[in-house]
Amino acid sequence: MDQILTDISTNLQVGKAKIVVELVSKALADGVPPKTILDEGLLAGMSVIGQKFKNNEVFVPEVLVAARAMNKGAELLKPALAAEGVSARGVAVIGTVKGDLHDIGKNLVKMMMEGKGIEMHDLGVDVSPERFVEAAQEHNASIICLSALLTTTMTEMKNVVETVKASSLAGKVAIMVGGAPVTQAFCDQIGADCYTPDAASAADEALRFLAS
Ligand code: B1M
C-alpha cells in the first residue's frame, strides 16, 4: 500500500496527471481508503511541491502541472470521499480585488490551498467587496483571500475589510491578503488578519486559521 501512495505523490510532483489518475484508480480498486489516498498520496505530493516552490527549487510552471495532476486525481476520489463522509478541512473564497485583472498569483494560492484539502470558491478577477461578502455568506466560508498586483488596486483591500466588518460576517471570517505590492505593514494598516508573501505560505497559514 505504501508504494502506491509514494508513486502517486512522486508522479504528481512531476505533473504526470494520466499516471496519477491510473494509480488513484488502482489504489481504490485495491481497497486503499480514499482518505489515505488523499492525505498520503495527493496532498503529500502537493505539500512537497509547495515547500520546493517556497525554497525556489521549482517555479510557476512546475506548480501548475503538479496542481493539474492533483486536481485530476482528486476528481476521481471525490465520490469515494463523499461516500465515506470525508469533508474538506475548511472553506475559503478567493479573488483578485476590484479593478485588478492579474490572476496568476491568485490561481497559485487557490491551488496550494486546494492542495491542503481546503474547499476553494474562486470568484475570479475584478471582484467587488460586496461580492466577496456575498460569496463568503453563500458558501459559509471561514476565510476570504484577497490578491492584488497593482499599487492602485491594493487599496481596494481596505474596502473589503470594511465591508466585511459592516456585515454579518464581522469577527467570523479571517481576511488573508497578498500580491506583489502588499506588505505586512499594509496588512496591519488596513486591519486584515494575515499577510503572506507567497502561495505556499498562504496555504500553511490558512490551515492554521482553520485549525484554531
Ligand atoms: Co501587469 N503589472 N498590468 N499585467 N503585470 C505588473 C504587476 C507590473 C509590476 C509590471 C511593471 O510595470 N513592472 C505593473 C504594476 C505596477 C504597480 O502597480 N506598481 C503592472 C501594470 C502597470 C499593469 C497595467 C496597468 C498595464 C497597462 O495596461 N498599462 C495593466 C493593469 C490591468 C488591470 O489589472 N486592471 C496590467 C495588465 C497585465 C496583463 C493583463 C497583461 C498581465 C496579467 C495576466 C494575468 O494575470 N492573467 C500582466 C502581467 C502578467 C504582469 C506581470 C508581468 C506578472 C505578474 C504575475 O503574474 N506574476 C507583472 C510584472 C512582474 O511581476 N514582473 C505586472 C507571477 C505571479 C505568480 O506573482 O501575482 O505576485 P504574483 O503572486 C505571488 C505572490 O505575490 C503571492 O503568491 C504568488 C507566488 O507564490 N500572492 C499571494 C499573490 N496573491 C496572494 C494572495 C495571498 C497570499 C499571497 O493571500 C490571499
Distant-in-sequence, close-in-space partners of 66: CB < 8 Å, separation ≥ 6: 12, 13, 14, 15, 45, 46, 49
Check residue 39 and report its DSSP letter: I
Residue type, 22: E
Q: Extract the C-alpha cell encoding 73.
A: 486525481
Q: Are 209 and 174 contacting, i.e. CB atoms less than 8 angstroms apart?
A: yes
**Residue % of the chain over a pLDDT of 90:** 80
Evaluate if residue 152 carries a pLDDT over 80: yes
The DSSP bridge partners found for residue 146 are: 95, 177
Closest among 73, 82, 110 to 95, alpha carbons compared:
110
Ligand 1 geometric centre to CA of 175 (Å):
21
Q: What pTM was computed for the model?
A: 0.90
Kindly state the average pLDDT of the residues 158-165: 98
Q: How far out from the chain centre does Cα 82 lie?
A: 20
> In this predicted model, what pLDDT tens digit does every residue of 10-45 receive, in sequence order?
999 999 999 999 999 999 999 999 989 988 999 899
Q: What is the pLDDT of residue 19?
A: 98
Confidence band of 111 (pLDDT split at 50, 70, 90): confident
Give the tens place of pLDDT for each residue, 39-78. Answer: 899 989 999 998 999 899 999 999 999 989 988 998 898 8
Quote the pLDDT of residue 1: 62
Nearest CA to ligand 1 atom 86: 178
pLDDT digits (tens, 9 = 90+) for 117-145: 899 999 999 999 999 999 999 999 999 99
Mean pLDDT, the chain, rounded, equals 94
Decide if 90 contacts 129 (C-beta within 8 A).
no
Report which residue type is found at 206. Answer: A
Q: Enumerate the H helices of the chain as residue ranges.
A: 2-13, 17-29, 34-36, 44-54, 60-84, 104-114, 129-139, 156-165, 184-190, 199-211
Domains of the chain: 2-83 (1.10.1240.10), 91-211 (3.40.50.280)
Residue 41 · residue 26 · CB < 8 Å: no
- Looking at residue 74, its pLDDT comes to 87
Round to whole Å and give the CA distance between 166 and 98. 18
C-alpha cell of residue 67: 496542481
Give the ligand 1 atom nearest the CA of 194: 90
Q: Whose CA is nearest to atom 21 of ligand 1?
A: 150
CA of 176 to the centre of ligand 1 (A): 18
* Ligand 1 pocket mutation pick from 144, 149, 160, 201 by most atoms within 8 angstroms of CB: 149
